[in-house]
């Protein structure tokens, strides 16, 4: 029987220990968020950056569960998962390139209690094979200060049923940066239907809010020395209107007009790209319009998906299953 030298056995053992570490370093996973503090049930958007250093193209998104998230509390307890991450389709990362995918983790985890949490993203390119984890992302869930009285109201849904709702305005101090939020809940506050961030808030002026005959809430608050932000929200938490008004002569305020509708009176409207609905583009002069009418717009051949890095190949979109209503 042929005997294996002790030296050769040691080399094989060393390689067996080192190769998995080398493989683990070939795919880099990082998770980030643009903010560190969130309200309970607020949209929790994160971006996951994946770097490919395997020496060959890396296909991703080829099967369900290729990417997963875990959320731990400060005491080490794991937060229960409510659903799986949204499907972003298939895409391929070339060697020495990185791509970014974005997810909203609010529907996936019930983060209702204030505290510190750590989020980790794990990527498994091939089912049943090696998994690559990101360093944990630390976030905080904080409770805001209520600004308005608790008032329950009922409204009739499009299907004819009557539902109870509450609008709750909350002020949150993020590192000395005041922000205004609106929570839309059921009548008993057992379910949060929507959390909307209305924007920056100055400390020297109190927001103004009025509810109209359609049970829409209108909010006007000052966000800077001369600018105020106006929002209109329906009972389902859908943002109907968003505008910016500037103090010019008379200060803008909410008033009921002759038709019984809520409107901003005073000041000057300042159109902005963030407006809802989007303000119409200015019409070109007649001569310029005539020239444009004879010019054919170039056809773009780029189909870069949202959330994928520029160096990543365009994904093949799957037919994702319909999301359950209310999630």
Let me know whether 110 and 132 are in one domain: yes
Let me know whether 133 and 186 are in one domain: no
Let me know whether 166 and 265 are in one domain: yes
In Å, how far are 8, 29, 114 from 103, measured between CA atoms? 48, 15, 21
Within-domain flag for 20: no
pLDDT for the residue numbered 15: 35
Let me know whether 156 and 91 are in one domain: no
Within-domain flag for 100: yes
User: Average per-residue pLDDT in the chain?
Assistant: 81
Q: Which of 244, 134, 164 is nearest to 199 (CA)?
A: 244
Within-domain flag for 187: yes
* 269 close to 220: Cβ distance less than 8 angstroms: no
Tokens 């509390």 belong to which residue?
A: 73
Let me know whether 92 and 41 are in one domain: yes
Within-domain flag for 117: yes
pLDDT tens digits along 156-191:
888 889 999 999 999 988 777 899 999 999 998 888
Angle at 46 between CA 129 and CA 105, to 5 degrees: 80
* 60 close to 288: Cβ distance less than 8 angstroms: no
Within-domain flag for 307: no
The CATH number of whichever domain residue 86 belongs to comes to 2.60.40.2970
pLDDT for the residue numbered 20: 39
Within-domain flag for 158: yes
Residues in the chain with pLDDT values less than 70: 1-25, 282-327
Of 269, 285, 317, the last residue of a domain is 269
Q: What is the total count of domains within the chain?
A: 2
Within-domain flag for 227: yes
Of 220, 243, 269, the last residue of a domain is 269
* 195 close to 185: Cβ distance less than 8 angstroms: no
Specify the pTM: 0.68
Q: For residues 302 and 162, what is the distance between their CA atoms, to the nearest angstrom?
A: 47
Let me know whether 185 and 224 are in one domain: yes
pLDDT for the residue numbered 33: 96
Let me know whether 149 and 239 are in one domain: yes
pLDDT for the residue numbered 284: 60
Let me know whether 135 and 178 are in one domain: no
Let me know whether 34 and 113 are in one domain: yes
pLDDT tens digits along 123-156:
999 988 899 999 999 999 998 899 987 778 998 8
pLDDT for the residue numbered 85: 92
Let me know whether 77 and 192 are in one domain: no
pLDDT for the residue numbered 267: 94
Range(s) of the domain holding residue 121: 26-141
Of 269, 295, 316, the last residue of a domain is 269
pLDDT for the residue numbered 304: 33
Residue 256, helix vs strand vs coil:
strand
pLDDT for the residue numbered 288: 53
Q: For residues 219 and 203, what is the distance between their CA atoms, to the nearest angstrom?
A: 16
Let me know whether 204 and 237 are in one domain: yes
For 211, the token pair is: 């509810």
Let me know whether 124 and 188 are in one domain: no
Within-domain flag for 316: no
């Amino acid at each position: 029987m042929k005997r294996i030298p002790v030296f050769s056995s040691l080399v094989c053992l060393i390689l067996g220990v080192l190769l998995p570490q080398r493989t683990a370093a070939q795919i880099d996973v990082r998770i980030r968020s643009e903010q560190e503090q969130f309200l309970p049930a607020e949209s929790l958007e994160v971006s996951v950056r994946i770097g490919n250093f395997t020496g060959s193209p890396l296909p991703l998104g080829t099967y369900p569960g290729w990417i997963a998230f875990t959320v731990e509390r400060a005491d080490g307890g794991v937060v229960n998962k409510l659903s799986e991450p949204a499907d972003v389709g298939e895409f391929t990362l070339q060697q020495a390139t990185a791509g970014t995918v974005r997810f909203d983790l609010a529907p996936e985890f019930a983060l209702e209690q204030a505290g510190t949490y750590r989020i980790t993203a794990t990527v498994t390119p091939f089912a049943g094979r090696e998994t690559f984890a990101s360093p944990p992302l630390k976030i905080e869930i904080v409770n805001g200060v209520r600004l308005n009285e608790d008032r329950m109201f009922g409204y009739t849904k499009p299907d004819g049923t009557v539902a109870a709702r509450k609008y709750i305005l909350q002020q949150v101090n993020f590192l000395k940066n005041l922000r205004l939020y609106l929570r839309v809940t059921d009548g008993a506050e057992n379910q949060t239907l929507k959390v909307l961030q209305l924007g920056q808030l100055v400390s020297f002026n109190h927001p103004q809010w009025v509810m109209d005959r359609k049970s829409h809430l209108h909010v006007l608050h000052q966000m800077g020395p001369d600018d105020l932000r106006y929002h209109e929200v329906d009972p389902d938490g859908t943002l109907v209107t968003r505008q910016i008004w500037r103090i010019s002569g008379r200060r803008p305020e909410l008033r009921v007009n002759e038709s019984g509708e809520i409107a901003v009176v005073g000041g000057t409207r300042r159109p902005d790209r963030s407006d809802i609905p989007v303000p119409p583009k200015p019409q070109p002069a007649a001569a310029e319009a005539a020239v444009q009418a004879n010019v054919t717009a170039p056809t773009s051949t780029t189909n870069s998906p949202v959330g994928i890095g520029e160096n990543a190949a365009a994904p093949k979109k799957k037919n994702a299953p319909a999301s359950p209503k209310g999630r």
